């Protein structure tokens, strides 16, 4: 059976890190004789330059016809002051809406070889393994009405019952396979929409009596992520809060370049690194590809049920880091610095040693 993957390299360092992720996929496909077909398309700033839109209809069609989507990064400062509908980020929002991607999974765990790369004390972050489940298609990013007027600008934060129910079930189902603890993050002491969120989450929780549910205000959650991150297993939250908290959680691991993500829909899923396009280092072959390669591991697990191959990628990343190999963003005086392509090669070599 052929597995079709839409590849959207995007902007900045996106093409560089995606190239290494595709390299890893090809390595696994050769070892296990998996038939993969890669279909490339434009999105973001590069799409604006070539097609005058951040999300060409052809790109959306390719993604809809694929079994999974691999995205690099979106964003370019040259478009920051343009019309709101001509910003690269609109391409990502359009993908989420057009593909019905409602659940964003962002794991944050510490690799033993990187425990000293974090700015926090080792005893604080040792053995952390957090999964942030972020709702993607509702909330303030999509709420109507929204407008910029002469003397004010406004957005509305709206959640429908079905949106909260389906993302809550994703979180509870994930927790059942982990440590059976969900922390639902909201701002119910101030926002009516958060009071509604909490009410619906409590109702869904009744379907999961084996999973512990804790409610936490978002400001406290931000503090607790730094003070005592090991208290968290699965964090369930809305679109904007999840956007912020997942970036904060990434720094527990020492670098944004380490964290993958999966955005799940009813028919397809999109996989991308948490980091941005980093235009300041684009084209210099020093970007960290590990987050994108780890996103491929999530793809193999969630979209293709290739659990052994997915774990092989995780083990290969851990082995490379344990041997002291680093890209510049996580390097120190005691490690060996590799460029983007060398890191991809090193991970492929480990995979060849792991998979029979």
At 138, list the tokens. 């509702």
Phi, psi of 134 (to 5 degrees): -110, 130
Nearest to 187 by CA among 210, 227, 159, 160: 159
Catalytic residue, from 11, 67, 111, 141: name it.
141
Q: Mark out the alpha helices in 1-56 (DSSP H runs).
A: 14-32, 45-51
Q: Is the peptide bond before 145 cis (omega within 30 degrees of 0)?
A: yes
State the DSSP string of 235-258. EEE-HHHHHHHHHHHHGGGT-GGG
- Contact partners, residue 322, CB within 8 Å, separation at least 6: 111, 112, 113
Active site (annotated) includes residue 247: yes
Active site (annotated) includes residue 187: yes
Catalytic residue, from 61, 127, 219, 332: name it.
219
Active site (annotated) includes residue 159: no
Whether 292 contacts 327, CB under 8 Å: no
Catalytic residue, from 11, 233, 243, 329: name it.
243
Catalytic residue, from 39, 129, 247, 345: name it.
247
Catalytic residue, from 187, 208, 233, 301: name it.
187
At 168, list the tokens. 């809550």
Catalytic site positions: 141, 187, 219, 243, 247
């Amino acid at each position: 059976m052929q597995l079709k993957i839409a590849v959207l390299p995007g902007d900045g360092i996106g093409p560089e890190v995606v190239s290494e992720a595709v390299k890893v996929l090809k390595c696994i496909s050769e070892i296990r004789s998996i038939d993969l077909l890669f279909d490339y398309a434009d999105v973001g700033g590069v799409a604006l330059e070539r097609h005058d839109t951040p999300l060409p209809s052809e790109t959306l069609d390719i993604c809809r016809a694929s079994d999974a989507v691999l995205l690099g990064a979106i964003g370019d400062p040259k478009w920051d002051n343009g019309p709101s509908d001509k910003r690269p980020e609109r391409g990502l929002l359009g993908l989420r809406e057009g593909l019905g991607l409602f659940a964003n999974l962002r794991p944050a765990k510490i690799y033993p070889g990187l425990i000293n790369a974090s700015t926090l004390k080792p005893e604080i972050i040792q053995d952390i393994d957090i999964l942030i489940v972020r709702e993607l298609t509702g909330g303030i990013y999509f709420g109507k009405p929204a407008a910029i007027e002469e003397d004010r600008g406004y957005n509305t934060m709206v959640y429908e019952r079905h949106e909260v129910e389906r993302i809550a079930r994703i979180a509870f189902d994930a927790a059942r396979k982990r440590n059976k603890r969900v922390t639902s993050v909201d701002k119910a002491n101030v926002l009516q929409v958060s009071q509604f969120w909490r009410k619906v989450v409590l109702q869904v929780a009744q379907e999961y009596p084996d999973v512990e549910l804790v409610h936490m205000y978002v400001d406290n959650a931000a503090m607790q992520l730094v003070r005592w991150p090991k208290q968290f297993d699965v964090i369930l939250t809305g679109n904007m809060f999840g956007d912020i908290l997942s970036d904060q959680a990434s720094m527990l691991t020492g670098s944004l370049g380490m964290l993958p993500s999966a955005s799940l829909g009813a028919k397809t899923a999109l996989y991308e690194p948490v980091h941005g396009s980093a235009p300041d280092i684009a084209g210099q072959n020093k970007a960290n590809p590990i987050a994108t390669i780890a996103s491929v591991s999530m793809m193999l697990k969630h979209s293709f049920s290739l659990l052994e191959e997915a774990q092989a990628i995780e083990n290969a990343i851990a082995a490379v880091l344990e041997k002291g190999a680093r890209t510049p963003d996580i390097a120190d005086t005691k490690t060996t610095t590799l460029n983007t392509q060398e890191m991809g090669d090193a991970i492929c070599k480990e995979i060849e040693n792991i998979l029979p």
